[in-house]
């Protein structure tokens, strides 16, 4: 991968870099020459090993990765991280809203506090970070908001109820920002990964309401069987490496303002590309009816397929 010319190098803030897509994206973008702030919760405690690993990679490969503490559910933490980057760099060019958790189980058995936490991380977290960086992007008349969603941000998977709800909500926010911010030089886009072998499944919180679970009898075991099937799939030759998502994020950053697709499906899609194409037509008709069609910066392509590396 060749280094970018100085004029194309960006200051990039990525959330959720302790593992998975965030970790891969941090290294991928830094190798291209971008200045990457790889953020995570508690880099000096529970995520010390992940933070130290990123710092060793940065030193060994002579790339610009700065590890920074950022809890997307905490206003003070998020404000401090953004303030630090602005103080050090003077600007933020790209925000990658990647941090996320995934509730997988009998939906009714998740207690309300668990559902609230799902939304706090996956929806309010991106909303919090977007609001913090948009004023700086508006001032510089340029910027890119990348929202890492999921197939579950458009398709409903049984037993993923609250996770789907959080990603559906994030996609609605991101698409609204797409229309409202484009004229100010800011792009808001969505990346929709398919099934990938990351820590989301192994770290998936289980439902706490065991009394509700008992009401489901033998079917309460179905979510675990489904997750086991996904784990088995990841060991086959049909699985797409998680690096694909990092490569797609890097490619989207390189595309000029207003030419980036709103949605990019990364990896296997279970028919989502077809659904996105159909909804694009309906959404376009809605904007036309409202006489707001000029707010859509690029009517085509509305959704882009990733290219396997």
Catalytic member of 167, 177, 179, 280: 167
Q: In this structure, are residues 242 and 198 in contact, taking their beta carbons and an 8 Å threshold? A: yes
Neighbouring-strand partners of residue 147: 97, 190
Based on the residue annotation, tell me whether 163 is a catalytic residue of this protein: yes
Catalytic member of 25, 149, 150, 266: 149
Strand 186-193 to 263-266 pairing: parallel
Catalytic member of 163, 166, 177, 182: 163
Write out the E strands in 79-232: 94-97, 143-148, 186-193
Written as six digits, the tokens of 95 are 């925000």
Based on the residue annotation, tell me whether 183 is a catalytic residue of this protein: no
* CA count, 13 A, side-chain hemisphere, 182: 21
Based on the residue annotation, tell me whether 124 is a catalytic residue of this protein: no
Based on the residue annotation, tell me whether 18 is a catalytic residue of this protein: yes
Written as six digits, the tokens of 11 are 């200051």
Catalytically active residues, by annotation: 18, 149, 163, 167
């Amino acid at each position: 991968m060749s280094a970018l010319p100085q004029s194309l190098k960006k200051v990039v803030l990525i959330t959720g870099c302790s593992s998975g897509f965030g970790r891969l994206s941090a290294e991928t973008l830094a190798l291209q020459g971008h200045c990457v702030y790889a953020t995570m919760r508690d880099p000096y405690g529970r995520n010390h090993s992940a933070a130290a690993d990123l710092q060793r990679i940065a030193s060994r490969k002579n790339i610009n990765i700065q590890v920074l503490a950022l809890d997307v559910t905490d206003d003070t933490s998020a404000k401090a991280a953004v303030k630090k980057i602005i103080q050090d760099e003077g600007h933020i060019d790209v925000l990658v809203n990647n941090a996320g958790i995934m509730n997988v189980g009998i939906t009714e058995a998740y207690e309300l506090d668990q559902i609230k936490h799902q939304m706090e991380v996956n929806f309010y977290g991106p909303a919090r970070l977007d609001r913090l960086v948009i004023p700086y992007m508006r001032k510089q008349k340029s910027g890119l908001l990348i929202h890492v969603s999921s197939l579950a941000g458009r398709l409903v998977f049984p037993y993923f109820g609250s996770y789907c709800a959080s990603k559906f909500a994030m996609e609605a926010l991101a698409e609204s920002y797409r229309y409202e911010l484009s004229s100010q030089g800011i792009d808001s886009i969505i990346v929709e990964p398919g099934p990938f072998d990351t820590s989301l499944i192994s770290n998936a919180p289980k439902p706490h309401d065991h009394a509700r679970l008992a009401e489901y009898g033998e079917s309460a075991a179905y979510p675990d069987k489904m997750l086991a099937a996904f784990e088995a799939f990841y060991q086959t030759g049909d699985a797409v490496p998680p690096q694909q998502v990092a490569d797609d994020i890097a490619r989207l950053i390189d595309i000029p303002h207003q030419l980036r697709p709103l949605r990019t499906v990364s990896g296997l899609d279970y028919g989502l590309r077809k659904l996105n194409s159909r909804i694009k037509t309906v959404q376009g008709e809605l904007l036309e009816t409202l006489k707001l069609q000029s707010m859509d910066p690029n009517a085509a392509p509305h959704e882009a397929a990733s290219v396997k590396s």
